[in-house]
């Protein structure tokens, strides 16, 4: 019984696809992937595991220089992309940006993500400013850097 040449090409093509798929699975299975392993640590101890068996342990206490510096710094006076709570993350006041190709800002009642939380918003294609008040949230996106005007 002779097989027609069209069918033979189809089965060879399907066989090639299946073979390529199986080779991909074999290569993927042969590549080890590190699996993070979490275990209980006493408060103030952070364990970072990277690159196989190398383990680094860093101990931070409430009186450490890093923690004290972060607390002493208080709310920031500069912002870039992100959502900030005014009065906690950043100081209230007027912020200016020299602009970029695209910037978006939104003053928010809360950080719920709900459309009704928007107090005011805008798009900038160049310099601009926005005034934010204590208790609000500010959402920023784009390549703009915002600095508080004294």
* Global pTM value: 0.52
Contacts of 59 (CB under 8 A, 6+ apart): 44, 45, 46
Taking a C-beta distance cutoff of 8 angstroms, is the pair 80, 146 a contact?
yes
Tell whether 26 and 79 lie within a shared domain: no
Six token digits for residue 121: 């918003």
Residues in the chain, total: 150
pLDDT tier, 69 (very low <50, low <70, confident <90, very high otherwise): very low
* Residue 46 domain flag: no
pLDDT in tens, 96-128: 999 877 899 999 999 998 999 999 999 998 899
* Residue 85 domain flag: yes
Total domains, the chain: 2
Residue 5 lies in domain: 1-31
* Residue 4 domain flag: yes
* Residue 68 domain flag: no
Tell whether 82 and 19 lie within a shared domain: no
Taking a C-beta distance cutoff of 8 angstroms, is the pair 84, 90 a contact?
yes
């Amino acid at each position: 019984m002779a097989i027609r040449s069209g069918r033979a090409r189809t089965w060879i093509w399907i066989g090639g696809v299946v073979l390529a798929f199986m080779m991909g699975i074999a290569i993927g299975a042969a590549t080890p992937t590190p699996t993070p392993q979490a275990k209980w640590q006493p408060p103030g101890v952070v364990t970072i595991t990277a690159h196989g068996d190398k383990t680094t342990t860093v101990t931070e206490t409430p009186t450490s220089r890093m923690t004290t510096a972060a607390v002493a710094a208080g709310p920031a006076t500069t912002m870039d992309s992100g959502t900030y709570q005014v009065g906690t993350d950043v100081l209230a006041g007027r912020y200016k940006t020299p602009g970029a190709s695209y910037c978006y800002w939104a003053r928010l009642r809360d950080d719920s993500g709900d459309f009704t939380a928007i107090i005011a918003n805008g798009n900038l294609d160049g310099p601009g400013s926005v005034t934010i008040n204590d208790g609000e949230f500010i959402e920023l996106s784009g390549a703009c850097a915002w600095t508080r005007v004294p």
